[in-house]
């Protein structure tokens, strides 16, 4: 989102910020994000090899579905990353603010599933996930209002 905002600034601010933000994004993506995906995948496979009974439990099937959604999210985020590195701005910074919460929402759902495995608690888990999504959207709207009144916020 910051790269998109910098892209719309006047020169020389655009070039200076753009160059620095591209470098920061590259470091974040290849030093933190991709290694985390690889390590998490390896540990997940290892866990399922050690405890294959998890694959017989319905909560694990739902969890793996959310993990699959997280992989799709990561892939799409990689596409956005590559576009921004080429100065191709195809989405708004507000869209990216919402998109940025996608991983939080999915990971929250995964943690809920792991903690609340029984079928009675699943109802509360689903309600909690919906409430969490609503709170994220409310937070986004409040932040958008604050930024519209004060662009430096």
CB 81 within 8 A of CB 29: yes
Residues 37-66 have a mean pLDDT of 93
Q: Per residue in 114-136, pLDDT tens?
A: 877 765 566 777 777 788 888 88
Q: Say whether pTM exceeds 0.85.
A: no
């Amino acid at each position: 989102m910051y790269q998109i905002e910098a892209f719309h600034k006047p020169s020389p601010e655009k070039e200076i910020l753009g160059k620095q933000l591209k470098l920061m994004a590259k470091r974040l993506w290849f030093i933190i994000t991709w290694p985390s995906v690889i390590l998490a995948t390896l540990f997940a496979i290892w866990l399922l090899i050690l405890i294959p009974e998890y694959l017989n439990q319905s909560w694990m099937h739902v969890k793996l579905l959310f993990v699959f959604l997280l992989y799709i999210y990561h892939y799409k985020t990689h596409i956005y990353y590559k576009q921004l590195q080429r100065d191709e701005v195809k989405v708004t910074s507000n869209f990216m603010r919402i998109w940025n919460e996608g991983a939080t929402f999915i990971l929250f759902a995964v943690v809920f599933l792991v903690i609340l495995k029984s079928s009675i608690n699943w109802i509360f888990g689903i309600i909690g996930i919906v409430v969490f999504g609503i709170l994220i959207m409310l937070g986004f709207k409040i932040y958008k209002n604050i930024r519209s009144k004060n662009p430096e916020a």
